[in-house]
């Protein structure tokens, strides 16, 4: 009979111990898995709040409807009546220039005009009085010579018919007659056609030029006294009394500083959402704590090169300027491209996207629930939730541990 004692008990004990060990491993494994499912995650509640999107750029202040006084002629500043920052009224005398130059130019222009008009008159009447008298005398002499030649030729022809004159004498008389006829025709033509139509055109043009020069000289004299064409503030005076200024140089700049605009340049990726009428906040470092307000008057219409940047030029009207934004100062403008005052939002960090669309992980009874959402407007930090969530829903931003991947059904512990 075979031995079935200790040799069969030992394998049974080993199998039993192995089963027990596996059970322990399963038990502690389940415990351990239960611990992993309770992942700490950062969360936020879904809330209503304002949502806005802004873009900023640098700009330069420009006056609207400015007036610049330019030197009407080269000359000396005789008197300066205003200074920078002074408010002036329409019609007020600002600058007086020395009038000796314009006075001399008027006299010169009058002389040139008189000479041009006399030359035109001579052309229209066939020349000067002396020239006409000389031409008349030449024609009279030519007529006498011609009449004499006619009579002598006729007499020689009669004598030749009687045999009292030779053929050579008749031929000579005929030749003299032809010469006197040619001389008379030449003198008469020179008197009547001395000047062509082109000569008259040129003479009239010289008269017109001389008249224009005289008008310009008189206008320059009238501009010796420069007066304000409008109410405003003097914001630039680049000259001083007794300075010599070339014609056209800037003498004084005047504008109503309560009406100013800003020329700003936005980088190319930012100009697509800029539009006329969008609200703008304006700050100037020289006056901290003050904010001016305006709106886009002209959105960029093309992209230009500005230094090393590709930018769009934008014109911004300042709505509440009080004369305290000085021309040519550099300011920072912030355009509000979009604003909604009461919308359901979540941080953009909480939003996920895959092939099916956008979704968030919502916490329900400490479990993660993947929740599809429809999104709307957004800015750099917040996203509008159009549907899929309600106020005070709790959504996950991210797990505290970067080694954990969020999945639907995961047990979590919320951490603000």
The H or E element that residue 133 is part of is helix 129-162
Report pLDDT for 240.
Answer: 93
CA 311 to CA 314: how far, in whole Å? Answer: 9
What's the pLDDT band for 8 if we cut at 50, 70, 90? low
Q: Residue 324 has which token pair? A: 């305290």
Q: Which two tokens stand for residue 173?
A: 């008389």
pLDDT (0 to 100) of residue 183: 81
- Alpha-carbon gap, residue 360 to 346, rounded angstroms: 9
- Please name every residue paired with 55 in a beta bridge, in sequence order, or none if there are none: 335
CB 234 within 8 A of CB 84: yes
Q: Which two tokens stand for residue 66?
A: 């400015």
The CATH number that applies at residue 322 is 2.40.30.170
Residues 131 and 180 placed together within one structural domain of the fold: yes
pLDDT greater than 50 at residue 34:
no
Same domain, 149 and 288: no
Residue 16 lies in a domain: no
> Does residue 279 sit in the same domain as residue 297?
yes
Together in a domain, 144 and 201: yes
Question: What is the pTM (predicted TM-score) of this model?
Answer: 0.57
What is the pLDDT, as a whole number, of residue 303? 92
At 94 the pLDDT is 95
Greater confidence (38 vs 77) lies with 77
Average confidence (pLDDT) over 222-239: 91
What is the C-alpha R_g of the chain?
Answer: 52
Q: 104 or 331, which is more confident?
A: 331
* 240 lies in the same domain as 314: no
Distance CA 34, CA 31 (A): 5
More confident: 137 or 369: 369
Beta strand residue intervals within 258-411, DSSP E: 260-267, 279-283, 292-298, 303-306, 309-318, 330-347, 352-354, 357-364, 367-372, 374-378, 382-387, 394-399
Q: Which of 217, 236, 270 is the last residue of a domain?
A: 217
pLDDT surpassing 70 at residue 35: no
Domain count for the chain, please give it.
Answer: 4
Residue 19 is assigned to a structural domain of this protein: no
Mean pLDDT of the chain: 84
**Which residue, among 300, 293, 230, has the nearest Cα to 264 in the 3D structure?**
300
| Domain shared by 178 and 155, yes or no | yes
Residue 127 belongs to what domain range?
108-217
State how far the alpha carbon of 16 is from the alpha carbons of 13, 22, 24, in Å.
5, 10, 12
State pLDDT tens for residues 114-160: 888 887 877 777 655 566 666 677 778 878 888 888 888 888 888 87
On the question of pLDDT at 252 being above 80, the answer is yes
What tokens does 113 get? 């005009």
Pick from 291, 310, 340: which residue ends a domain? 340
Residue of higher predicted confidence among 21 and 299: 299
44 and 59 belong to one structural domain: no
Residue 160 within a domain: yes
The pLDDT confidence band at residue 228, using thresholds 50, 70 and 90, is very high
Mean pLDDT over residues 316-322, rounded? 94
What does residue 122 show for φ and ψ, rounded to 5 degrees? -65, -40
Q: Is residue 281 packed enough to be buried (19+ CB in 10 Å), middle (13-18) or exposed (0-12)?
A: middle
User: Is the confidence at residue 395, as pLDDT, over 80?
Assistant: yes
Average of per-residue pLDDT across 16-24: 50
pLDDT of 32 reads: 44
pLDDT value for 200: 78
Task: Among 319, 340, 361, identify where a domain stops.
Answer: 340
């Amino acid at each position: 009979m075979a031995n079935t004692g200790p040799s069969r008990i030992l394998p049974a004990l080993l199998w039993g111990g192995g089963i027990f060990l596996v059970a322990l491993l399963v038990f502690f494994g389940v415990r351990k898995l239960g611990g992993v499912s309770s992942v700490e995650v950062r969360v936020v509640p879904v809330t209503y709040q304002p949502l806005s999107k802004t873009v900023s750029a640098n700009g330069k202040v420009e006056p609207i409807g400015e007036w610049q006084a330019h030197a009407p002629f080269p000359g000396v500043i005789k008197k300066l009546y205003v200074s920078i920052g002074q408010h002036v009224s329409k019609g007020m005398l600002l600058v007086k220039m020395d009038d000796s130059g314009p006075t001399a130019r008027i006299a010169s222009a009058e002389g040139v005009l008189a000479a041009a008009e006399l030359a035109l008159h001579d052309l229209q009447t066939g020349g000067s009085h002396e020239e006409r008298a000389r031409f008349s005398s030449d024609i009279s002499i030519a007529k006498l010579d011609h009449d004499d030649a006619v009579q002598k030729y006729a007499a020689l022809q009669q004598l030749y018919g009687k045999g009292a004159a030779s053929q050579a004498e008749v031929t000579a008389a005929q030749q003299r007659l032809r010469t006197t006829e040619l001389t008379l025709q030449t003198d008469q033509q020179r008197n009547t056609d001395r000047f062509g139509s082109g000569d008259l055109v040129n003479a009239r043009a010289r008269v017109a030029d001389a008249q224009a020069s005289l008008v310009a000289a008189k206008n320059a004299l009238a501009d010796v006294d420069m007066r304000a064409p409008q109410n405003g503030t003097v914001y630039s005076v680049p000259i001083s009394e007794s300075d010599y200024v070339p014609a056209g140089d800037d003498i004084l700049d005047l504008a109503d500083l309560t009406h100013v605009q800003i020329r700003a340049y936005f980088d190319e990726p930012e100009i697509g959402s800029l539009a006329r009428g969008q609200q703008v906040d304006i700050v100037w470092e020289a006056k901290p704590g003050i904010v001016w307000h305006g709106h886009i008057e002209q959105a960029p219409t093309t992209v230009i090169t500005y230094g090393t940047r590709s930018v769009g030029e934008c014109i911004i009207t300042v709505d509440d300027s009080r004369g305290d934004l000085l021309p040519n100062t550099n300011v920072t403008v912030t355009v509000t491209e979009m604003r909604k005052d009461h919308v359901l939002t979540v941080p953009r960090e909480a939003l996920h996207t895959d092939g099916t669309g956008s979704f968030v992980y919502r916490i329900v009874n400490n479990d993660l629930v993947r929740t599809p959402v429809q999104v709307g407007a957004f800015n750099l930090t917040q996203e509008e939730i159009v549907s899929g969530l309600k106020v005070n829903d709790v959504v996950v931003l991210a797990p505290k541990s970067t080694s954990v991947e969020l999945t639907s059904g995961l047990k979590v512990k919320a951490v603000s």
